[in-house]
Structure formats: C-alpha cells, structure tokens
Amino acid sequence: MVGRILLAFAFYYPLSMAWVWIFGALTYYLRRERNAPSRGLPPELPFWPKATLVVPCHNEGDNVRETLEYLATQVYPDFEIIAINDGSRDNTGDILDELTAVYPQLRVLHFPKNQGKAMGLSMAALASNSEYLICIDGDALLDRYATRWLMWHLLSGERVGAVTGNPRIRNRSSLLGRLQVGEFSSIIGLIKRAQRTSGRIFTVSGVIAGFRRTALHQIGYWSKDMVTEDIDVSWRLQMNHWDIRYEPNALCWILMPETIRGLWKQRLRWAQGGAEVSRRYLKSLLIWRRRRMWPVMFEYLLSVIWSYNMLGILVLSFAGTVIPMPPWLYVAGPIPTWFGAILGTTCIIQFLFSILIDRRYEDRIGRQFVWIIWYPLVYWILGMLTTVVGVPKAFFKRTGTRAVWDSPDRGIR
Amino acid sequence: MRAESPIISSPEKQSRLQKFASLAITILAWSLWAYLWLPTLSVISAVFGLPINQILVVRRPDETSLLLIFLIMLASNFVVSVWSSYNYVRFAKRSRRRRPNSASHEEVGKLFGIDDPATLSLLSEGRSLSLYFDDAGRLVKVDGASAKTAPQ
C-alpha cells in the first residue's frame, strides 16, 4: 500500500506538472506572445528615462570586455553602466578602469574585498542616477534590444517592480551544454510563461532582470545572506504586491557549466536558495492578502515532497533486492511499465511545443533537441538529488551568514 | 526577427572518448524512449493478432489508471485556467494599489547609512570609486581614488 502511494505520487506529480506548464505556457503564448512585435521592433515607449545597466563582476577578466561591448551598443537613448569589481583577484579591476576611457557611460565601483553579488547590486542602486536598473552578470551578453523591452514593461505599469528576461545558453560544445539549451527552452521557458500566466513568478533570472528602484527601496534591496538573491528579491517584491513580468524578447546570452561538478554546484545552490527562501517566508505568506503567492509556494513544496518521495522509492527498491520486504512496503521499480509510454509522449509534446514557441527567438533551435531526449530524466534526478541535499543545508545554515562569490564553471571556451 | 547569436560551439575541444560517450548516451536514451512504447505495441499487436505479441512484455492497460491520468491532465488545465483567469480579470487591467513616491537619492543613501551630501554626490558622479565595508557589511568609506583589487 505504502509502496503504491509512493509510486503513484512519483508518477503523477511530474506528469501533472508537465501538463500544467504546457497549458500555462500555451495560455501565455496565445494571450501575450503570438501577436507581439518581433524582437527587433520593440514597442515605442511613452518617454525615455535614463536606465542604469548594472554588471557585478568577480574574476571576470576573460569576459568583461565583451560584456561591456554588448552593453554599450544597447538600442536605448539614455543609459549609464555601473560595473562592480567585487574583490576580483584577476585583472578585472584594471580592465574596467581602462574601459572607462572607451565607454563614456561606464562607471566602476571597486570593492577591495569580496562582498557578494547582493552587496554589489545594492551599491549600484545607491550609486545609480536612475529609477530603473537592468542587472546582468559579468559574463553575460545582453541583446541590443533587451533594455528597451525591459523598460517597456517597467514603464507600462505603476506596480511593475521587476521584469525578467530570456536567458539563452551560449556554450554548446558538449552534451551537457546542449542539454541545458533544451532545458532553458523546454522547461525553464515554459515554467516562466506558465507562472506569468498564473500571476506570480518563482524567481526572476538573476542573470537578466530589470528592477524599479522604488520597489527595491521599499523591500530594503537585496538580502546579503541568501545564496540565491534573485529568488529572495522576487518573493519579497511580490509579497509586497509588486508585479513581476516575463519578457521573452529580452534575450541575454549566458555561459553555463559544462562539467558535472560545475552543474551540480550550480543546481545545489539553486535548491538551497529555494529552501532558504521558503523557510524564511512560509509563515508570512499564510494570509489572504498574499494568496497570489500560494501556488508558487505550493508548487515548490510539492517538488520537495516529490524529491524525498523518489529517494524513498529508490531506497525501498534497492532494499527489496537485498532483503525480503513486507508486501505493504514492496516497490516494484521507479517507472511503472505501461505509464512510461504516457510519460514519453508527454515529454515529446513538451519538446515540440517549446520548439514551436522558441523558433521566434533563435534559429535552428530544433536541432539541439535531438540530444536532450534523456534530459527530462536527468532534470528530475538532478532536481531530486540537489533538493535532498540542499534542503537540509538551508535549514542548518547559520542565520545571517553572508553569501559571497564563488567563481562558477563557465564551460568550454 | 531572430537574434544574432554569439554561440560558442567547439566540439573539437572535446576528447574522442567524450564525443563517443555523448553519442552513446544519446542513442541509449532514444532506445529507452522507444522501449517505453513496448506496451502500446503489445496492445496493437494483440488487437491485430500479430506474432510480435509473443516477444513483448504484455501488460493489459489498467483502464482506471488511464482514466485517472486523463482526469489529472484535465484537472491541471482546469486549475491553471481558472486561477489565471481570476488573476487576469482581477489584477491585469488595473492597479489595485498606488505606487509609492519614487525613492530620492537622499532616501536611498539614508537606508545605507550615508547622510553626507558630498559622499552621495561622489557616489552618483564618480567614474571609478572604491567602497570599503566593515565586517557587518556596512559601507564605511567611499574613496574617489580607485584601489582596484587587494589580495585576499
């Protein structure tokens, strides 16, 4: 009996979520995307206030020239760039100072010691001469029209506190790189669309997001002690009734890990971050005025339960091969035979649907999907393992511990 | 209009073993995916009386479970549609709360413990600044002469 319940949840949860994402993304596509102008023709803005483009950097000597080159060519009439050299031990600081002579819009904040991304962003907000902040990472390349797309949202509603863009994977040399292309398209892209449809978003993408400074001011800016400052700021903004939007035309080209170790470290940080945020805000969400955040929290909690459920199944399956198990604890295996065909079909429908949507933004995206057939399995397994490890890390972390930079794996160059 | 993509694709930087492993894993994954369809093939072969039925693992589909799956898919769609429509109707067309006044530079400075107008002015105009913090993460000094990096 227990085994059957565990198996049923293991199967029905990912199946249900896949269809929720597909239906949600389809609604978004029909309502907001199908007839939207193309990327290169962003809507006219009612006025053109100054925007501050913020780039926190830690040991970005190899990337920051290209990053700033892209920022300097934004199709937007009035902007400044604030780069933060956060305790870099390479030549990032020298390069940034050198580039101030090349780009008149560029200003640089040097932190002699590593203070973390949240501190860098907060200080940029303090130094900014604008109400609007467009934040990207030091190794990311912002598409030339992205600032205008993000500003369009920030100017179109008084309660729009943030807008998240559309990260696209640059490095595709290895199987892991290509898998993440598919993941960002078929899973993360669909989730963002579905969540936007439901009214609240789990998180902005830390690598590309625009913010209204007044909204950040109201919530006290970024938290310095959360490992994922993007999830934290997204929850606090929405808990304070600021809207967060998603703009798929605001493209940002990013580097992702191409080693298993790098991927594991990144995903573990994400899992820990989700758990930290839930732990901190769960109680304060339980009031009627914050009901719009309930689906986000519910979905997150279900995913955590599913992860531990899968762990239970694996343990029981393994135990059943070694010792005789009582019938009520017997688990045959993680994938019920007949239902596999339904999961396989769902997976292909999800892929095809995301290819159809993503064709607007990138040429030949479909060819990447040949490689990602095993990604749904990897996605759920990786999600399970990082959650199982990340949740206890979040719960046993000492409160107030500062989160500082740790240079990530940036793939094959 | 699609993006001019700055994609990095250097498969030549991978070893032969890595390339072979990637290909092998992908073929294996597609094979596993095809394997998931065996029960369906079994049913089809049973219906048409084909001999392939003999070599496949045949398990009669459980009608209750299939119905449950269909209902779950339907319910997922229903819940998403109702909730998103509720959000759209109630919140999309009008702001239910007023936007607070924009935070001035002085107010932002005050929140970070900076009251001195000269420091605020330096922060908003300086091209290359060094910022120093105490152990608690409070901003304690802003220097117009860049210190760049310090070994940690």
| Pick from B136, B147, B120, B129: nearest CA to A115 | B136
A79-86 vs A106-111, strand pairing mode: parallel
Give the CA angle between residues A219, A203, A113 to the nearest 5°: 65
**Distant-in-sequence, close-in-space partners of B144: CB < 8 Å, separation ≥ 6:** B122, B126, B128, B129
- In this prediction, residue A163 has a pLDDT band, given cuts at 50, 70 and 90, of very high
Q: For residue A192, give both structure tokens.
A: 């963002």
Does the structure's ipTM exceed the value 0.90?
Answer: no
- Give A218's contacts in chain B (Cβ within 8 Å): 100, 103
Per-residue pLDDT, averaged over A273-290, amounts to 94
Q: Are A29 and A108 in contact (CB under 8 A)?
A: no
Q: Are A1 and B57 in contact (CB under 8 A)?
A: no
List the single residue in A with minimal CA-CA distance to B69: A12
List the single residue in B with minimal CA-CA distance to A197: B84
**Distant-in-sequence, close-in-space partners of A325: CB < 8 Å, separation ≥ 6:** A316, A319, A331
Per-residue pLDDT, averaged over B34-54, amounts to 69
Answer positive or negative: Cα dihedral of A55, A57, A63, A64: positive
Q: Are B143 and B132 in contact (CB under 8 A)?
A: yes
Above 70 in pLDDT, residue B82?
Answer: yes
Q: Are A364 and A249 in contact (CB under 8 A)?
A: no
Q: Can you count the helices (H) and strands (E) in chain B?
A: 5, 2
Q: What local confidence, expressed as pLDDT, does residue A397 receive?
A: 82
- In this prediction, residue B13 has a pLDDT band, given cuts at 50, 70 and 90, of confident
Per-residue pLDDT, averaged over A403-409, amounts to 69
Q: Indicate yes or no: CB of B100 within 8 angstroms of CB of A214.
A: yes
- Higher-pLDDT residue of B136 and B151 is B136
Per-residue pLDDT, averaged over A262-282, amounts to 94
Q: What local confidence, expressed as pLDDT, does residue A332 receive?
A: 64
- Give B32's contacts in chain A (Cβ within 8 Å): 374
- In this prediction, residue B55 has a pLDDT band, given cuts at 50, 70 and 90, of very low
- Higher-pLDDT residue of B91 and A70 is A70
How far is the C-alpha of A262 from the C-alpha of A181, rounded, in Å?
16
Selection from A401-405, B67-71, B127-131 with the highest mean pLDDT: B127-131
pTM of the model: 0.90
Q: By percentage, how much of chain B surpasses pLDDT 70?
A: 79
Above 50 in pLDDT, residue B138?
Answer: yes
| Pick from A168, A138, A166, A27: nearest CA to B92 | A27
CB neighbours of residue A39 within 10 Å: 21
How near does any CA of chain B get to the CA of A413, in Å?
A: 7
Digit-coded pLDDT (tens) for A76-102 = 999 999 999 999 999 999 999 999 999
Tell me the CA distances in angstroms from A105 to A46, A77, B125, B127, one per residue in order: 23, 11, 11, 9
- In this prediction, residue A337 has a pLDDT band, given cuts at 50, 70 and 90, of low
Q: What local confidence, expressed as pLDDT, does residue A92 receive?
A: 96
Q: Are A162 and A204 in contact (CB under 8 A)?
A: yes
Q: What local confidence, expressed as pLDDT, does residue B151 receive?
A: 39
Per-residue pLDDT, averaged over A188-209, amounts to 94
Digit-coded pLDDT (tens) for A25-54 = 999 999 899 999 999 999 999 999 999 999
Above 60 in pLDDT, residue B57?
Answer: no
DSSP state of A324: P
How far is the C-alpha of B113 from the C-alpha of B149, rounded, in Å?
24
**Distant-in-sequence, close-in-space partners of B34: CB < 8 Å, separation ≥ 6:** none
Mutation pick from A129, A350, A412, A413 vs chain B, by most beta carbons of B within 10 Å, is A412
Name residues 30-89 of chain B within 8 A of A (Cβ): 30, 32-33, 35-40, 57, 59, 61-62, 65, 68-69, 72-73, 75-77, 79-81, 83-84, 87-88
Out of A58-67, A126-135, A398-407, B32-41, pick the least confident.
A398-407
Above 90 in pLDDT, residue A127?
Answer: yes
Per-residue pLDDT, averaged over A172-195, amounts to 87
Q: What local confidence, expressed as pLDDT, does residue A336 receive?
A: 52
- Give B135's contacts in chain A (Cβ within 8 Å): none
**Residue for token digits 């549609």?**
B81
Q: Indicate yes or no: CB of A340 within 8 angstroms of CB of B69.
A: no
Above 50 in pLDDT, residue B149?
Answer: no
DSSP state of A75: S
